[in-house]
Structure 1
Amino acid sequence: MDPVLGDGLSVSSTSFQNSALSPRTPRFSPRTPRSAVYTKFVAGLDGLGEEDELALLDEDDRRQYAEGLEVDDGFGTINRNKPVSSEDKRAMVLLCVLYLIQGVPPSSFIGSMPFILQKHLSYSQLATFALSGYPYSLKLAAIQWSPVVDSVFFSSFGRRKSWIIPMQIINGTLMLYISLNIQRLMDDPSHHVTHLTNVFTALVFFSATQDIAVDGWVLTLLSPENLSYASTCQTIGLNTGYFTSYTVFLALNSEAISEKWGVPRLTLAAYLRFWCFVSYSVSVWLLFKKERKEPISDSGLSVKEVYKQIWTVCKMRHIQSLAIMFVFGKIGFAANDAATSLKMVEKGLLREDLAVAVLINFPFQIIAGWLVGTWSRGEYPLRPWLLTFWPRIGFAFTAMLIVYWFPTPVSAGFFVFLVVHTVLTSFTSTIQFVGSSAFFTRISDPLIGGTYMTLLNTFSNIGTMWPKWFVLKSVDMFTVATCQIVDDSTYFGEVATECVSQTGKKLCAELEGQCLVIRDGYYLVSTFCMIFGVLFLIFYTAPTARRLQSLPATSWRVKL
C-alpha cells in the first residue's frame, strides 16, 4: 500500500535482481518459523525429539533456527509451487473470519458513519470524529500496547486466544451499548460529537488489540511457503467487513430503497446488535480451536525485554527509512481517500448510488487480493506495491476532475463511468495493500512476531490515517462561501459572512438563502497533496523502496 515508480524511474525485474545480492552468493532469505507438521516430520526422520535436535546445535545454529532462516543457494529452498494443504486452507478460513470481525468497527467509522453524519456535521466536526480511527494506526507507536499482547497470556488457554477472545467479547459488548444509545446520540449529533468519538475510539482500540494478536498468530498459523496468503486473507476479511458496514448497511438503511423494494429498513441499532451476536458466536467457536504450540518464539521474553527488542528494531536505519516512506508516501492520494466521496454526495450523488458502486466493486477487490497474493509469493513481494503507485495518484487526479465537472442529475452513462473509476481505484489500493502486507510478513522476526508485525503495520496505518484529520480540517479552512438571499429571482444581498460551518448553513437555510461557494478548499487541498506525493515519490519513496527490497533477511532481525 505505498510507493511506486514513475516515468523514468520504472524498475524492471532485471534491475531488481541486479540490486539484490548475486544469485550465486549464498545468503539468508526471509523465512518464517517451520510449521509443527514440518518439525514432526524432520524429528521423525532423525529419530530425535525437538529438544534433542536443539541440544545438538551450537548457539548460532539455535539462533538461526529461532529466526526460521535457512541458507539459500539462489534457487530458493521453499517450494512455492507446492499445493496449499488442507491445514493451511482451514487456517485461511479462520484468518478471513477473524479479520472480518475486527474489520467491522473501523469500517463502520470509515465507511457508513461519515455519510450518516454528513447532513448534521461540518467537515471540521467530521475531522474530530475521524480521530476515533487513530488507535488502529497508533496501536504500537502511541499506545505501546503490542509488547504486552505479545508477552502476557495464559499458556494453558492459548497465547493468541488469550487476547483474541476477550477482545471480541468486549467489542460485542461495546456494539451492544452503542445500539442501545445510538438513537439518542443521532437525534442531535452536533451536540454529541465528543461522545460519539469516544465510544468509537474505544471500539477501534479493542479491534486494534485483536489485530496485534492475529498478526502474531499468522506467523505460525500458516506454513512458510503459504505465508504470503496471509495478506490475501486480511484483504478478503477486511474488505468483507467494509462491504457489509458500508454497501450493505447504507443500502438497507435507505428509506428510498426500503419503500421501493418493500423491505424493512435496517437501523444502525439493529446492525450493531447483529455484529454483537456474531462477535459472541465466533468467540465460542474459538474456544474449540486448538492453538499450535510455538516452541521457538518470544513467549519466554518479559514485557520489558520485548520493549527493549522493539526499541532495538526502531533504531535500525532501514526501519527508520521504511517508516518515513510509509508515513509520508500516501499523502499523494490522502485528499481523495478522505474527502472525494463526501464531495460527490454533496454534489448530488445519492448514498444509495455510491453503495451500489461499492457493491459492484467488491468482487473485484476479492479477486485482486487473491491474484496479488499469488504474485507476492516470489522473492520481491513489494514489487506490486511499487508498480501501482503512479496509477493510484492518477486516479486521485481524475476523481478531483469528476467532482469539479459533476453533472446534475447523474446520467446512466456517467454512473457507469463512475463505477469503472471506483473499481480501478480500489483495485490499485488492494494491490498495494496486499503487496506491502506480504513484504511485512516476509521480513518480520518471529522472535517478537506479533510486535514486529504490529510495528510495520503501524507505519502503514499511520500513513493512511494521520492526513485524514488535516485534510478535512483544511477543506473547511480554505473554503470561502457566503449566504445569498434571492427574492423573486433577483439577487437581494449577503446576510452572512460565512456559509461553511453547520451554524452558518443553518442560519442561511432559516433565512431561505443559498450558500454560494466562492472557493472550495477541496480542490486546493487535493492539488497540494498530489504535488507533494509526486515529488516525495520521485526523490524518496522510489529509491528507498528499491534499496529496502534488496536487503538480506538478516538485516531485519533482532540482534540479541
Structure 2
Amino acid sequence: MPKLRNKKSALTRGVSKKQSSGELTPTSPSKKSMARTSSLNSTELSQRASMHRTHAGDRLENDAEEGGVEMNLLRDGEQRQAARETDEWGESHQPGESKGPMSSKDKRAMVLLCILYLIQGVPLGLALGSVPFLLKDHLSYSQLATFALSSYPYSLKLLWSPIVDSVYFVNLGRRKSWIVPMQLIVGTVMLYISFNVQRLMDDAASHVGELTFVFTSLVLISATQDIAVDGWALTLLSQDNLSYASTCQTIGLNTGYFASFTVFLAFNSVEFTQSWGVPHLTLSSYLKFWGVVCYAVTFGLLFLKKEDKEAHSEADMSITGVYKQIWAICKLKHIQSLIVMHFFAKLGFAASDAATSLKMIEKGFKREELAVAVLIDFPFQIAGGWLAAKWSRGDRPLRPWVYAFLPRLAFCLLGTLVVYWFPTTPISKTFFVFLIVQTVLSSFSSTVQFVGISAFHTRVSDPLIGGTYMTLLNTFTNLGGTWPKYFVLKGVDMFSVASCKIVKSGLEVATKVTECVSDEGKAMCQDIGGQCVVETDGYYIVSFVCMAFGVVFLFAYIIPTARKLQELPLSVWRIKLE
C-alpha cells in the first residue's frame, strides 16, 4: 500500500534561491484563467496559461503594506513610476517562450495534455451545455434554476485546490494520484447516467434532484481533475515550451466541450439526422462511448506513462499556509474593490446569458440550428481573443474590458427584442443569418472583456505566489457569471403570470386552475383540456432589470474603479510572504 504523503502546496511553488547571487526568482509558472462565452450558451470554462516573469525590481516590491491603500488618483510622479514599472514588467523575460525546435518529448506531452483536457471537456459540455436544452421541454425555469447549481463547482475550485496540489501517493505520482481516480469516477458516473438516462429524462420533473446531484458530481470531479492536470502541465513541458500549456487546454477543453454541446445537439436531433442521412445519436449511447474512453485513457495513463518526481523548493508552503496567503490577499483594500466589481459586473448580462437561448428554443428555434450558430461563432471567438490581446497591451489593460461593456449590454437588449419579435417557425434564412451575426458580435464583445480582465490579472498578480493570486482573482471572475444564473431563472417564473383557458363552442369557460406557471398548474390545466395562456412573461422583467442595473453599475462603480485600479503601481498588489 503506497504511503499517503502531505507535501507542500505547488500553488505557491516556484521560489528558489539562485546559488550564484542569492536572489529569489520564480521557477514555476502560474496558471492564467480564461473563459469562453457565447450569447447562446452562457457557459464559462477556465483555462490556464503559464505566467513566469523574473525581475529584480519586483522582488523589492514585496515590502509594500497590505492594507490602507487609498483608492484615489495617483500624483503625476507616481503615475510615471507606475508606467515605468509596467514597461519593465512587460519587457521582462518569460521562460515560457520557445527558443528553438520543439523536442519529441514536449510533443508527446502536448498530445497527452490535449487528451486529458478533452476528457475534462466532454462532461462539462454535457452538464453546462446540451443537457439544459434537452431538459427545457420537461422542466420549468425554476427547476432549470435548480439544475443550474451543477455549474457552481467549476467556479469554486480555489476552495480545495491546495489540497489537490499537496496530498498524494508517492509511488503513484503527485498528479496521477488525483487524475487516475478522478477520471475513473467520471467514467463510472457517465456509465451510471447512460443506464438511467431514459428513466430520468422521461419524468425529469420528478427527478430534478437526482439529475442535479449526478451532474454536479460530474462537474465537481472534472474540476478536481482540472486542478491536477493544470499542475502537471507545469512539469510535463520543458521551460522553453511552457507557453504551450494553454494551447493544449484550448484545443482539448474546447474540443470536448463542443463535441458534447454543438456536435451532440446536432446528431441528437431527428430532423438533422434525417436531413443529412446520418445515424441518430442518443444521450445514452453518447455517455456510454465516453465512459469507455475515460476508462481506456485512464488505464493507459496508469501503465504507460510514468510521472517524473518534482523538486521542492524551500519556499513551498503547507496547505494551511496557502489558505493564509489567500486571506492575506483578500485583505488588501484594492483587492476588495476588485472583488466587488467582479461580483456584480456580469449581472447586467445575466438574464441574456441564462435565459435568452432557452426562450428562443421555446419560441421554436431548433436545437440543431442553435448548434450550427455556436459552431460558426467558435472561430470568431479565437480571432476576437487575438485582437483583444493586442488591445490589452500597455499600461491600460482594463480599457478594452470597460469599452466592451456598452456594446455587450446593447447586444443583450437586441437579444431580448429578438425573443419578443421572434417570427413564426420555420424561420427564414435571412433571419437565421441575422441571428448568427448577432451571436458573433455579442460573443466578440464578451471575448474582448475576458481577455482584457485576464491581461490585468496577469499584470498585477505577484509572481512569487502567482498560482494562488491568479486562481483567486479568476475564481471571483467566474463566480460573478455563475451566481446570478440561479436567481435569474427563478425570477422568470416568479414574475410570470399565466392562466388556464378553456374554450368550448366559442365561449371561454372559467376554471379552478389559478395559475399556469408551475408544473403542477400546467399539469392540472392539461388534465381538464385547457391551454396555458401567458399574460406576463417574467423573462422580460428580469432581463430589463438586469440590463438597467448593468448600465447604472457601469457608470457609478466600474468605470471609476477600473480607472483607479489600473493606475496603481505594481508595488501595492504585493504581499509579504511569512
Alignment map for 1:414-425 (pairs within 5 Å): 414-425=431-442
Alignment map for 1:353-368 (pairs within 5 Å): 353-368=369-384
Note the alpha carbon deviations across 1:436-464, whole angstroms, 9 max, x for none.
34444454446555443332221112111
Residues 480, 519 of structure 1: 8 Å contact kept: yes
The CA deviation at 1:94 is 5.2
What SS does the corresponding residue of 1:153 show, helix, strand or coil? strand
The 3 A distance-change label for structure 1 pair 175 and 557 is farther
Alignment map for 1:454-493 (pairs within 5 Å): 454-493=471-510
Q: Counterparts of 2:375 and 2:291 in 1: how far apart (Å)?
A: 23
In the alignment, what sits opposite 1:62?
24
Q: Counterparts of 1:224 and 1:377 in 2: how far apart (Å)?
A: 24
The 3 A distance-change label for structure 1 pair 400 and 83 is farther
The 3 A distance-change label for structure 1 pair 454 and 161 is farther
Q: Counterparts of 1:289 and 1:539 in 2: how far apart (Å)?
A: 54
2:552 to 535, 540, 545: 535
In the alignment, what sits opposite 1:105?
123
Q: Counterparts of 1:145 and 1:207 in 2: how far apart (Å)?
A: 13
Note the alpha carbon deviations across 1:361-386, whole angstroms, 9 max, x for none.
22322333455456656665555433
RMSD: 3.4
Residues 98, 241 of structure 2: 8 Å contact kept: no
The 3 A distance-change label for structure 1 pair 277 and 236 is same
Amino acid at match of 2:54: L
The 3 A distance-change label for structure 1 pair 559 and 284 is farther
In the alignment, what sits opposite 1:350?
366
The CA deviation at 1:102 is 2.1
Q: Counterparts of 1:510 and 1:342 in 2: how far apart (Å)?
A: 26
In the alignment, what sits opposite 1:3?
none
The 3 A distance-change label for structure 1 pair 493 and 229 is farther
Q: Counterparts of 1:555 and 1:84 in 2: how far apart (Å)?
A: 37
Amino acid at match of 2:484: P
What SS does the corresponding residue of 1:149 show, helix, strand or coil? helix
What SS does the corresponding residue of 1:202 show, helix, strand or coil? helix
In the alignment, what sits opposite 1:184?
199
The farther-off stretch of 316-325 and 66-75 is 66-75
In the alignment, what sits opposite 1:261?
276
The CA deviation at 1:123 is 0.7
In the alignment, what sits opposite 1:122?
140
Does residue 1:322 correspond to 2:286, yes or no? Answer: no
In the alignment, what sits opposite 2:406?
390
Note the alpha carbon deviations across 1:81-121, whole angstroms, 9 max, x for none.
97786367776665554443323323212211111111111
Amino acid at match of 1:183: Q
In the alignment, what sits opposite 1:406?
422
The 3 A distance-change label for structure 1 pair 224 and 420 is farther
The 3 A distance-change label for structure 1 pair 460 and 94 is farther
The farther-off stretch of 80-89 and 438-447 is 80-89
In the alignment, what sits opposite 2:316?
300
The 3 A distance-change label for structure 1 pair 157 and 322 is farther
In the alignment, what sits opposite 2:349?
333
In the alignment, what sits opposite 1:515?
532
Note the alpha carbon deviations across 1:379-408, whole angstroms, 9 max, x for none.
655554333222211111100000011110
Residues 228, 376 of structure 1: 8 Å contact kept: no
1:133 to 127, 151, 171: 151
What SS does the corresponding residue of 1:516 show, helix, strand or coil? strand
In the alignment, what sits opposite 1:43?
none
What SS does the corresponding residue of 1:330 show, helix, strand or coil? helix
The 3 A distance-change label for structure 1 pair 298 and 431 is farther
The CA deviation at 1:281 is 4.1
Q: Counterparts of 2:298 and 2:573 in 1: how far apart (Å)?
A: 34
Residues 298, 449 of structure 1: 8 Å contact kept: no
Note the alpha carbon deviations across 1:192-220, whole angstroms, 9 max, x for none.
11111111111111112123334445666
The farther-off stretch of 442-451 and 357-366 is 442-451
What SS does the corresponding residue of 2:502 show, helix, strand or coil? strand
Amino acid at match of 1:491: E
The farther-off stretch of 229-238 and 425-434 is 229-238
Note the alpha carbon deviations across 1:159-195, whole angstroms, 9 max, x for none.
4343333322221221122112212222211111111
Does residue 1:436 correspond to 2:400, yes or no? Answer: no
The CA deviation at 1:411 is 1.8
In the alignment, what sits opposite 2:73?
none
Residues 352, 416 of structure 2: 8 Å contact kept: yes
Q: Counterparts of 2:311 and 2:575 in 1: how far apart (Å)?
A: 18
TM-score normalised per structure 1 = 0.80
What SS does the corresponding residue of 2:533 show, helix, strand or coil? strand
The CA deviation at 1:122 is 0.8
The farther-off stretch of 523-532 and 181-190 is 181-190
The CA deviation at 1:255 is 1.9
The 3 A distance-change label for structure 1 pair 213 and 415 is same
What SS does the corresponding residue of 1:485 show, helix, strand or coil? strand
What SS does the corresponding residue of 2:157 show, helix, strand or coil? coil
Amino acid at match of 2:550: G
What SS does the corresponding residue of 1:300 show, helix, strand or coil? coil
The 3 A distance-change label for structure 1 pair 259 and 351 is same
Q: Counterparts of 1:109 and 1:90 in 2: how far apart (Å)?
A: 30
Residues 147, 306 of structure 1: 8 Å contact kept: yes
Note the alpha carbon deviations across 1:247-285, whole angstroms, 9 max, x for none.
111111112223333322111111112222333344356
The CA deviation at 1:477 is 0.3
The CA deviation at 1:494 is 4.7
Q: Counterparts of 1:376 and 1:289 in 2: how far apart (Å)?
A: 39
Count of matched residue pairs: 508
What SS does the corresponding residue of 1:55 show, helix, strand or coil? coil
Does residue 1:546 correspond to 2:546, yes or no? Answer: no
Residues 298, 446 of structure 1: 8 Å contact kept: no
Does residue 1:162 correspond to 2:177, yes or no? Answer: yes
Amino acid at match of 2:24: R
The CA deviation at 1:128 is 0.8
TM-score normalised per structure 2 = 0.78
Amino acid at match of 1:497: T
Task: State the percentage of identical aligned residues.
Answer: 62
Q: Counterparts of 1:69 and 1:198 in 2: how far apart (Å)?
A: 44
